[in-house]
Amino acid sequence: MGIVNTSPDSFSGDGIRDNVQAAVDQALRFEEDGADIIDIGGESTRAFAGKPVYKPITEEEELRRVIPVLEKIISMVKVPVSIDTYKSGVAKRAIDTGVSMLNDIWGLQHDYRIASLAAEYKLPIVLMHNQKGTEYFDLICDVKEALSRTIAYALETGISRENIILDPGLGFGKKPEHNLQLINRLGDLKELGYPLLVGPSRKSFIGLVLDLPIDQRIEGTAASIALSIANGADIIRVHDVKAMVRVARMTDSITRGL
């Protein structure tokens, strides 16, 4: 999954801002580099040590950022396009534009109506574990229980089992050590019986471990991706598509014989 950010304040420094053609060019390059999904988002959700350091934007502003980009990219790429949003109004407009997948960083906690949209349009949806604080009684058990509740609600709303994808939420409501533990224990979350998406790309826990700025975290990202796949991840959400496609293919060949 290749990330296309249309926000001006993306944590990774790759925000497209208002340049629709730049977003299209990036999506086409990602497709050529081997991305299987293009994920488009309009609001920065950057955090440091698990704590939000961003200001939410209005639905109108998010629509202004993403809809022109979605319209162009969907008409030009052959791979599925996902919308990264936790607002049902944005999700509905994106669906009308032709997206194939929903990616909700709040796992139906912020706007429950997204569940109804996923059910009605029979779309795959990524349900991320997220919380406002970083305190846990038992990290793995707590994340697993929270995702189980999210799954139960999704199924009750009418989302089919085959359309549910889980995301442990690296960097969201997590301390750096939590992110490392989650990658190491993905097998525990795999027991829930759903595909797993992970997004460690360029995140602050890598920077803290290696003491490196955002533009020097590709090796740390690669190590995180490889171990995530080895521990059960099925989808990786990344900024550096060409390099991480190679990492994924090599790791798959070793661990899964693909």
- Residues with catalytic annotation? 203, 237
The three-state secondary structure class of 15 is: coil
- Strand pairing category for 51-52 and 47-48: antiparallel
Helix ranges restricted to H, 101-217: 113-121, 139-157, 176-184, 186-190, 204-210
Tokens linked to 3:
């990330």
Q: Nearest-CA neighbor of 214 among 6, 1, 4, 9?
A: 9
For residue 230, which amino acid is it?
A
Give the DSSP letter of residue 96: H
- As a whole number of angstroms, the distance between CA 49 and CA 208 comes to 9
Q: Tokens 């959700």 map to which residue?
A: 45
Taking CA atoms, 229 is separated from 142, 203, 226, 252, in Å, by 22, 17, 5, 7
125: which strand partners? 102, 164
Q: Tokens 């934007």 map to which residue?
A: 57
Q: Is 244 within 8 Å of 236 (Cβ atoms)?
A: yes
Q: Is 66 within 8 Å of 91 (Cβ atoms)?
A: no
Q: Nearest-CA neighbor of 97 among 120, 81, 117?
A: 81
211: which strand partners? none
